[in-house]
């Protein structure tokens, strides 16, 4: 969990004190003359501040601090910074696949069509994860005519993970004309690719796939493929013989598994709800876990109540999965309340997952509960709560996030800075962020730089 930020420095104008990159380490104070230089920085025009922030981030991308690079890339993309492309381009040449991957996605998220040639080139990257990210960005940036040959090429890639990533991206983005591009993958030799194609065509509402799905549900030798085909037919509103559903659900041990029950729910079989509920109360943890994972993957509106119930499971991993799954249910006050309660779970990872999901559903009603979690005893929870408040973009959280800039964890401080970039900051707060520049380093400074760039025009 999951799916950062920075600030500027010009050596001739500002002497930066020794950085504190370790957890809990405090700044060592200011050298003579630094206050005057800070005052000088605060008096600079927005254009001057902007140039210095950009220069710092550009230099960061040429350095060795991987986390600072990632905060720079993700932060600039999040605020849709107009002048970001030259800085993001630096990440494509990085020696680290992780940085290249995030750079490729950042260019796609930026939404500037001028970045398309850069991400097209990344389709040939030697690292599979970078190529997968490039597919997402190509689909984001290309128009329908230019994207088709690129997608066809990706769907014929020898690596199944590339084919799967292409199908998933087409499904999630709902691009016009996606279904005919995906349909040939129903015959893919890899069952996981075939399954992803089935899910995608169902999500896109492609009724022309019904005859093929019926045949797959009856004849496929792969049980997972059969189950998904039956589920897809239900999603598409196609009546399907209950006897055939049970054939699709049957496994080698003649055991009705939770996974089968969850996917059969797509067929609207009247027994499915009872089967899933029974699976969630099974004594066997594996069965309960399988049910919750299947419900999480289904995104079925009717699954929210069952996932809420799973938040009470004695197994923490099941509670974590349930909290993650609830992040898909926006506009449901009952889900918000359940996740707020999960913020008080005894397990830190459950609390972290609940905070992240509250950020994903973006319900303003969760702001106060998330602000309370900023004082959680575990840094990962504070990080997640700060991140979620940034996604909510509620300015009432500004003061609370400002307080986190003094947190003992650099990761938490960086998360707070990143979230402040999404807020509407006043001149006083911008001045505070400028002051923090003298005391920070690495990804925290990158976060502050992006926060200032997002609000620099309010400086004067």
Answer yes or no: are the C-beta atoms of 81 and 112 closer than 8 Å.
Answer: no
Distant-in-sequence, close-in-space partners of 185: CB < 8 Å, separation ≥ 6:
155, 163, 167, 193, 194, 196, 197
pLDDT of residue 29: 43
* SS3 label, residue 374: coil
pLDDT of residue 13: 21
Round to whole Å and give the CA distance between 125 and 122.
5
Of 67, 72, 64, 73, nearest to 6 (Cα)? 72
Round to whole Å and give the CA distance between 435 and 416.
16
Helix axes 34-42, 427-436, angle to 10 degrees: 140
Identify the bridge partners of residue 446 per DSSP, sorted by sequence position. Answer: 6
pLDDT of residue 89: 95
- For the beta carbon of residue 27, count every other beta carbon within 10 angstroms: 14
Round to whole Å and give the CA distance between 259 and 280.
11
Tokens 């104008």, residue? 13
Domains detected in the chain: 205-295 (no CATH), 299-420 (1.25.10.10)
Answer yes or no: are the C-beta atoms of 392 and 373 closer than 8 Å.
Answer: no
Cα 26-30-36 angle, rounded to 5 deg: 145
Structural tokens at position 382: 């504070």
Answer yes or no: are the C-beta atoms of 307 and 318 closer than 8 Å.
Answer: no
Answer yes or no: are the C-beta atoms of 216 and 198 closer than 8 Å.
Answer: yes
pTM score of the predicted model: 0.74
Sign, CA torsion 122/127/128/129: negative
Tokens 């922030």, residue? 53
Strand ranges inside 274-408, DSSP E: none
Round to whole Å and give the CA distance between 307 and 296.
8
DSSP 242: H
Tens of pLDDT along the chain (460 residues)? 333 322 222 222 222 222 223 334 433 444 445 555 556 656 778 888 888 889 999 999 999 999 999 999 999 999 999 999 999 999 999 999 999 999 999 999 999 999 999 999 999 899 999 999 999 999 989 886 788 888 888 998 889 999 999 999 998 888 778 999 999 999 999 999 999 999 999 989 999 999 999 899 888 888 788 878 877 887 787 765 656 655 655 554 434 444 444 444 454 444 555 667 777 888 888 888 888 887 887 667 778 898 999 999 999 999 999 999 999 999 899 999 999 999 999 999 999 999 999 999 999 999 999 999 999 999 999 999 999 999 999 999 999 999 999 999 999 999 999 999 999 888 888 888 887 876 788 898 999 999 989 988 765 5
Round to whole Å and give the CA distance between 249 and 186.
19
pLDDT of residue 392: 95
């Amino acid at each position: 969990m999951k799916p950062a930020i920075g600030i500027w420095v010009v050596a001739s104008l500002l002497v930066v004190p020794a950085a504190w990159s370790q957890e809990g380490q405090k700044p060592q104070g200011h050298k003579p003359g630094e206050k005057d230089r800070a005052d000088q920085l605060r008096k600079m025009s927005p254009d001057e501040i902007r140039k210095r922030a950009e220069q710092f981030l550009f230099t960061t991308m040429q350095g060795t601090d991987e986390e600072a690079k990632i905060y720079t890339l993700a932060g600039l993309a999040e605020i849709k910074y107009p002048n970001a492309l030259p800085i993001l381009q630096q990440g494509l040449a990085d020696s680290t696949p992780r940085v290249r991957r995030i750079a490729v996605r950042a260019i796609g998220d930026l939404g500037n069509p001028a970045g398309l040639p850069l991400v097209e080139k990344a389709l040939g990257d030697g690292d599979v994860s970078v190529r997968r990210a490039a597919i997402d960005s190509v689909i984001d940036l290309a128009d329908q005519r230019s994207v088709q040959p690129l997608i066809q090429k990706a769907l014929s890639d020898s690596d199944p993970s590339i084919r799967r990533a292409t199908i998933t991206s087409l499904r999630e983005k709902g691009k016009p004309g996606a279904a005919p591009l995906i349909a040939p993958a129903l015959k893919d030799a890899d069952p996981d690719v075939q399954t992803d194609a089935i899910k995608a065509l169902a999500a896109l509402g492609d009724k022309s796939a019904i005859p093929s799905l019926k045949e797959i549900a009856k004849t496929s030798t792969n049980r997972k493929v059969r189950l998904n085909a039956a589920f897809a037919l239900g999603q598409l509103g196609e009546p399907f013989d209950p006897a055939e559903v049970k054939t699709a659900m049957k496994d080698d041990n003649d055991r009705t598994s939770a996974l089968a029950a969850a996917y059969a729910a797509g067929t609207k079989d009247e027994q499915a709800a009872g089967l899933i509920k029974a699976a969630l109360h099974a004594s066997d943890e594996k069965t309960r876990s399988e049910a919750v994972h299947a419900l999480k993957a289904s995104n079925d509106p009717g699954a929210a109540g069952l996932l809420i119930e799973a938040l009470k499971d004695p197994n923490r991993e099941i509670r974590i999965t349930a909290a993650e799954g609830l992040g898909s249910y926006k506009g449901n006050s009952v889900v918000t309340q359940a996740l707020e309660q999960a913020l008080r779970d005894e397990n830190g990872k459950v609390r972290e997952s609940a905070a992240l999901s509250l950020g994903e559903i973006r319900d303003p009603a969760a702001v106060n509960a998330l602000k309370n979690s900023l004082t959680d005893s575990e840094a990962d929870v504070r990080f997640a709560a700060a991140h979620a408040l940034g996604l909510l973009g509620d300015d009432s959280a500004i003061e609370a996030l400002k307080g986190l800039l003094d947190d003992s964890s650099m990761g938490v401080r960086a998360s707070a800075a990143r979230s402040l970039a999404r807020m509407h900051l006043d001149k006083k707060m911008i001045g505070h962020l400028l002051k923090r520049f003298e005391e920070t380093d690495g990804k925290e400074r990158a976060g502050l730089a992006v926060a200032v760039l997002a609000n620099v025009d309010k400086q004067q």
